[in-house]
Amino acid sequence: MDYPEPRRPPIWRSPLGLVLLAAAAFGAYVLLTRHFDHLLQAVPFLILLACPLMHLFHRGHHGRHGGGEPGGAPNEERPPR
């Protein structure tokens, strides 16, 4: 009888994951308390950077939201005519 291999626990439940989570929480705390003014100065640049990144990563997804023929299911394969 074959037994399934035991699944590995997620990274955040391991000791290393807890250390990384604590380090990320401490880094976020320091950034928000000590460097909040610097973060506010970066917001306009982050908004400007978001525009080209959205164009790069959302390319080719226009018109795939179920706007096909009336009466048909949006994600259903249609037979050829």
Cα→Cα distances 44→41, 50, 55, 62, Å: 7, 10, 18, 27
Closest listed residue to residue 27, CA positions, set 38, 16, 15, 35: 35
Please tell me the predicted confidence (pLDDT) of residue 24: 96
CA–CA gap between residue 17 and residue 8 (Å, rounded): 13
pLDDT of 74 > 80? The answer is no
Contacts of 50 (CB under 8 A, 6+ apart): none
Please tell me the predicted confidence (pLDDT) of residue 10: 80
Task: Quick: pLDDT tens for 5-64.
Answer: 778 778 778 889 999 999 999 999 998 999 899 889 999 999 999 988 888 888 766 655
Extract the tokens encoding 29: 């705390």
Structural domain spans, the chain: 11-57
